[in-house]
Chain A
Amino acid sequence: MILGFSLAFLLTAALTIAGALAAALLKNLVHCALSLTVTFAGLALLYLQLDAQFAGFSQILVYIGAVAILVVFAILLTRGAGVPEYRGFSTSWFFGLVIASAIFALLTWAVVRSLPAKSAVAAPSITVQSIGASLMSTYVLPLEIVAVVLTVALIGAVIVAMPESRTPKSEAESSGGK
């Protein structure tokens, strides 16, 4: 118990933050994507520590299992003929850093200043069954909407990413006009 926090928490937090930093600083895109995956995993562990098992496992399933893979695919599909010519960082990187730091400072200050020193809350006891039941009763509307959103996003993504039909006109358009 260092600083009143358990070791598990500290290690997991460190892992998450390290992964995030790695994603920010590494030059190779694939390395960034993989460190992103590490971050996701750390977060999943944090959820588990917070007794949100369902959230944690769905984090692993969705984020690591789908989003991270998707990011890797996107990186692979958008690779050019070699290493990108440009530098990884934008010309005004400092400005962005400043803003990010300011945001962090603001958030931390708000958190620290507003919360009491210590409080203890009992761990909740929830089951997957109760989650399912509430999904089907209280949260049925958001569930359906999310289903629609997912469908729309699926179709939209397919249409957006679909290669154009290879007619001579569209070939000429795509190669000439742009």
Chain B
Amino acid sequence: MIACSASLFANWLAQSPAAEFPPDMIAEGATSFIVRMLWLIPAIPMVTAGLIALLKQPRRKTAATLAIGGLVLSLLLSIMAFSHVLNSWGHGAATREVVNFNWFDLGTTHLQLGWILDPLAAVMLVMVTFVGLLIFIYSTGYMAHDENFTRFFCFLSLFAGGMLGVLIANSLLLLFMCWEIVGLTSYLLIGFWYQKPSAAAAAKKAFLTTRVGDIFFLLGIVWLFAQTGTLLFYNHGFGAMEPTALATLLAQPAALGLSAATVIGLLIFAGAAGKSGQLPLHVWLPDAMEGPTPVSALIHAATMVAAGVYLVARVYPLMSAGAAPGGSTVSLAVIAWIGALTALFGALVAVAQNDIKRILAYSTISQLGYMMVGLAVGGVAVGMFHLITHAFFKALLFLGAGSVIHGCHEEQDIRRMGHLRKAMPVTFLTYSVGMLALSGFPIFFSGFWSKDAIIGAAHSWPISQGPFFLLIIGALLTAFYMTRQVAYVFFGGWRGSHHTHPHESPTVMTLPLSILAVFAVGLGVLGTPAWPWFTSFIESKFLIVDMQAFSEPGLLPLMGFAILLVFVGIGLGWYLYARKPIEVPVGAPVHDHAQEHGDEPEDTPCDLKDVLESPAPVVWKWLANRLYFDELYAATVLRWYAALAWVSDWMDRRVWGGIVAGVSNSFRGLGLANKSIDSQWIDGTFDKGCEELVTGGGALAWLQAGRTPGYLRTLTMGVLVLAGLALIVGAATGQVRL
């Protein structure tokens, strides 16, 4: 990752000397300073993560300061970027600016990366850095007693860097790389308390489930690259989201009569579904609550899960390519249905949960479903508006839950809480604001406006009214379960252990709550139909302030109907849970959780039965057990996978191992044969020969007795003989006269 940023930085440096640009870096609109500096926004938190990684554990202040400081810098840069885009929008100039550069060359094609600054990215940047900063500050209080404080902030920073990278990426490849960084840090943070087996398992589950989505995502990326030759979103008309490439993709048939554009869109959505917890890849989100509460707030409420929604928004041109006017495409229809089902599912299961964070987790799943539906039926602005508002109030709710948990000394079961509105007033107040926003309480709360926009868009969706019905049931249930949760936690009598005295959390924790509460209320104003600021901004249209918009046909009745649903939900919840204060049942043993601090709250059973449990025990059991999705997966997918693993292991040990052993044994056999030949035949022959030599040598050695006079005599005799021979021969040839 560091190498990647370094290479990016190096490439950027190499390509932009001093203040001048080569012509190919000028994009739609002149590239201004902030856009050139945009890469700093993710880079700074990543660098601080690296710096913190080098620190030793006891240096908490340094770690926290580095992390918060880095994110503050990113926030300032994001605000600068946002105001720049605002400026361009205000002047009616082009609002999208890209900076692309070559990363490396593959033969004749160049692999390009780049970043983009447009209204969508700008809004997300500000939201992520701002909410992230609040959560960082909150964490300094929440994790103050944890011994792995430094490690926590290192991971948090790294996550922030990765998430911001996802936001500004102009290339699917860069997005994917940062996507994986986000996935990795999510794993690290969910499993932060890795000594707890449930936490380690939850982290693994999260990583593997999102991985399933990521495989499809990668397939989609590769296919897109193969078809269009580019992975950049926008590149002066040659990007993948621009008409030329989209036309290519539409024309290319894929499978089942669908075009390549549709299938690639669905593949990319699969990746988004994994990260954003859509059915059926939602199973990791509730278990991810094993991580510390700030992690849940940051990652699983405001940012990471929103990355999936953001991805769909980014590739929206691809998803919506080829739609007939007034109609929709197959990809968008699929997204709408899956989103609607997820919304309903999440809301249903949340009704029967007893862990404060689980309720919020399922609520997140449900709201993500809403966002997907919003994107599919209403367009980018509708979905993104709900994402922004949801980020604030969900983060608020999670941080509030963290405050409650902290105040009740790590108690997480709502059946063991109660009467906290007196003990933790600030938390209660802010939590209520969040709850009302989530439920969609009218007028003052942002959730109302954003959810209403989605419901309205679903109602006017030409393809089907199915999602609309699912969504309205979901809205009812949302109001209901939130009221239930608030009643359990803050009203009624104290049902916890007698030794625990809940107290308000320190200011460092309650201050972010208050700030978020303000935004949970205030943001609503950006999306009213009369002043559709958000929509106009995102779609770069001119803003028309028009109070007449309220009198659009069908708008007010629908709004009224939604408000009615919310009141019914809240009323039902109040009637069932808050009218009579929930007390500890008479005669039930009180579990002293403070003394059994090491236990999981779920392990020690609570005897308190829910009001809804008796009338519909089977339904309740199904809902409480999350519709048995995890069990289903364990029985099927995991079983098959385990079987596959067993087969592979057997193959490895028996078949491949057997082959290897066979080869090695044959070599050993060869070696043995060689050795026996060598020792028996060759050595034997050689030894025999040597013995013969020795005997012969012994015989010859008799001659070498060292008798010098004898040698001399033999010598001379030899000379004589030779001379005699010479004479005789000479006489025979007539040369010597004898």
A-to-B contact residues, CB < 8 Å = 90, 92, 95-96, 99-100, 102-103, 106, 113
CB distance B709 to A90 under 8 Å? yes
CB distance B737 to A99 under 8 Å? no
CA distance A37 to B417 in the complex (A): 137
Contacts of B713 in A (CB 8 A): 92, 95-96, 99
Interchain Cβ contacts under 8 Å between A and B, 18 examples: A90-B709, A92-B709, A92-B713, A96-B709, A96-B712, A96-B713, A99-B713, A99-B716, A99-B717, A99-B720, A100-B716, A102-B720, A103-B719, A103-B720, A106-B720, A106-B723, A106-B724, A113-B737
A92-B713, A103-B716 are known contacts; what are 9 more A-B pairs with Cβ within 8 Å?
A: A92-B709, A96-B712, A96-B713, A99-B716, A102-B720, A103-B719, A103-B720, A106-B720, A106-B723
Contacts of B716 in A (CB 8 A): 99-100, 103
Contacts of A92 in B (CB 8 A): 709, 713
Distance in angstroms from B319 CB to nearest chain A CB is 98
Contacts of A90 in B (CB 8 A): 709
Chain B positions 717 through 738: 1 when the CB is less than 8 Å from some CB of chain A, otherwise 0: 1011001100000000000010
CA distance A100 to B715 in the complex (A): 12
CA distance A72 to B716 in the complex (A): 27
CA distance A92 to B713 in the complex (A): 10
Contacts of B724 in A (CB 8 A): 106
Contacts of A106 in B (CB 8 A): 720, 723-724
CA distance A99 to B716 in the complex (A): 7
A-B contact count (CB 8 A): 20
Contacts of A100 in B (CB 8 A): 716
CA distance A90 to B723 in the complex (A): 26
Q: Which of A95, A99, A103 has the most CB of B within 10 A?
A: A99
CA distance A77 to B723 in the complex (A): 39
Q: Within B164-217, which residues are at the interface with A (CB < 8 Å)?
A: none
Residue in chain B with minimal CB distance to A102: B720
CA distance A90 to B712 in the complex (A): 13
Distance in angstroms from A97 CB to nearest chain B CB is 11
Contacts of A95 in B (CB 8 A): 713
Chain B positions 699 through 716: 1 when the CB is less than 8 Å from some CB of chain A, otherwise 0: 000000000010011001
CA distance A113 to B713 in the complex (A): 27
Residue in chain B with minimal CB distance to A106: B723
Distance in angstroms from A101 CB to nearest chain B CB is 11
| Smallest CB-CB A-B distances: 10 pairs | A99-B716, A90-B709, A102-B720, A106-B723, A96-B713, A99-B717, A99-B713, A95-B713, A103-B720, A113-B737
Distance in angstroms from A78 CB to nearest chain B CB is 16
CA distance A96 to B707 in the complex (A): 14
Residue in chain A with minimal CB distance to B714: A99
Distance in angstroms from B728 CB to nearest chain A CB is 12
Distance in angstroms from A28 CB to nearest chain B CB is 20
Residue in chain A with minimal CB distance to B738: A113
CA distance A100 to B737 in the complex (A): 24
CA distance A103 to B712 in the complex (A): 13
Distance in angstroms from B598 CB to nearest chain A CB is 79
Distance in angstroms from B713 CB to nearest chain A CB is 6
CA distance A95 to B473 in the complex (A): 141
Chain B positions 674 through 713: 1 when the CB is less than 8 Å from some CB of chain A, otherwise 0: 0000000000000000000000000000000000010011
Distance in angstroms from B712 CB to nearest chain A CB is 8
CA distance A7 to B48 in the complex (A): 127
Distance in angstroms from A79 CB to nearest chain B CB is 21
Distance in angstroms from B716 CB to nearest chain A CB is 5
Distance in angstroms from B644 CB to nearest chain A CB is 77
Contacts of B717 in A (CB 8 A): 99
Q: Within B265-295, which residues are at the interface with A (CB < 8 Å)?
A: none
Distance in angstroms from A116 CB to nearest chain B CB is 13
CA distance A47 to B279 in the complex (A): 131
Residue in chain B with minimal CB distance to A113: B737
CA distance A92 to B709 in the complex (A): 9
Distance in angstroms from A126 CB to nearest chain B CB is 34
Distance in angstroms from A98 CB to nearest chain B CB is 9
Distance in angstroms from A127 CB to nearest chain B CB is 39
Distance in angstroms from A86 CB to nearest chain B CB is 13
Contacts of A113 in B (CB 8 A): 737
CA distance A113 to B709 in the complex (A): 32
Distance in angstroms from B654 CB to nearest chain A CB is 67
Contacts of B737 in A (CB 8 A): 113
Contacts of B723 in A (CB 8 A): 106
CA distance A162 to B159 in the complex (A): 90
CA distance A90 to B709 in the complex (A): 8
CA distance A103 to B724 in the complex (A): 10
CA distance A96 to B719 in the complex (A): 14
CA distance A92 to B717 in the complex (A): 14
CA distance A103 to B720 in the complex (A): 7
Distance in angstroms from B719 CB to nearest chain A CB is 7
Residue in chain A with minimal CB distance to B723: A106
Chain B positions 460 through 472: 1 when the CB is less than 8 Å from some CB of chain A, otherwise 0: 0000000000000
Contacts of A99 in B (CB 8 A): 713, 716-717, 720
Residue in chain B with minimal CB distance to A100: B716
Residue in chain B with minimal CB distance to A96: B713
CA distance A50 to B233 in the complex (A): 122
Residue in chain A with minimal CB distance to B720: A102
Distance in angstroms from A23 CB to nearest chain B CB is 17
CA distance A99 to B713 in the complex (A): 7
CA distance A106 to B716 in the complex (A): 12
Distance in angstroms from B216 CB to nearest chain A CB is 87
Distance in angstroms from A166 CB to nearest chain B CB is 29
Contacts of B712 in A (CB 8 A): 96
Contacts of A103 in B (CB 8 A): 716, 719-720
CA distance A8 to B4 in the complex (A): 117
CA distance A95 to B717 in the complex (A): 10
CA distance A96 to B711 in the complex (A): 11
Distance in angstroms from B688 CB to nearest chain A CB is 33
CA distance A158 to B221 in the complex (A): 94
Distance in angstroms from A94 CB to nearest chain B CB is 11
Distance in angstroms from B738 CB to nearest chain A CB is 8
CA distance A38 to B81 in the complex (A): 128
CA distance A99 to B717 in the complex (A): 7
Contacts of B719 in A (CB 8 A): 103
Distance in angstroms from A114 CB to nearest chain B CB is 8
CA distance A109 to B723 in the complex (A): 12
Distance in angstroms from B6 CB to nearest chain A CB is 70
CA distance A100 to B709 in the complex (A): 13
CA distance A90 to B717 in the complex (A): 17
Distance in angstroms from A64 CB to nearest chain B CB is 26
Distance in angstroms from A24 CB to nearest chain B CB is 14
Contacts of B720 in A (CB 8 A): 99, 102-103, 106
CA distance A78 to B724 in the complex (A): 40
CA distance A92 to B737 in the complex (A): 35
Residue in chain A with minimal CB distance to B716: A99
Distance in angstroms from A73 CB to nearest chain B CB is 22
CA distance A113 to B712 in the complex (A): 28
CA distance A99 to B720 in the complex (A): 8
CA distance A96 to B709 in the complex (A): 9
Contacts of B709 in A (CB 8 A): 90, 92, 96
Distance in angstroms from B702 CB to nearest chain A CB is 18
Residue in chain A with minimal CB distance to B737: A113
CA distance A109 to B737 in the complex (A): 11
Residue in chain B with minimal CB distance to A91: B709
CA distance A25 to B725 in the complex (A): 32
Distance in angstroms from B468 CB to nearest chain A CB is 112
CA distance A103 to B717 in the complex (A): 9
CA distance A90 to B713 in the complex (A): 12
CA distance A102 to B709 in the complex (A): 17
CA distance A92 to B714 in the complex (A): 13
CA distance A106 to B723 in the complex (A): 8
Residue in chain B with minimal CB distance to A93: B709
Distance in angstroms from B315 CB to nearest chain A CB is 93
CA distance A140 to B709 in the complex (A): 38
Distance in angstroms from B50 CB to nearest chain A CB is 70
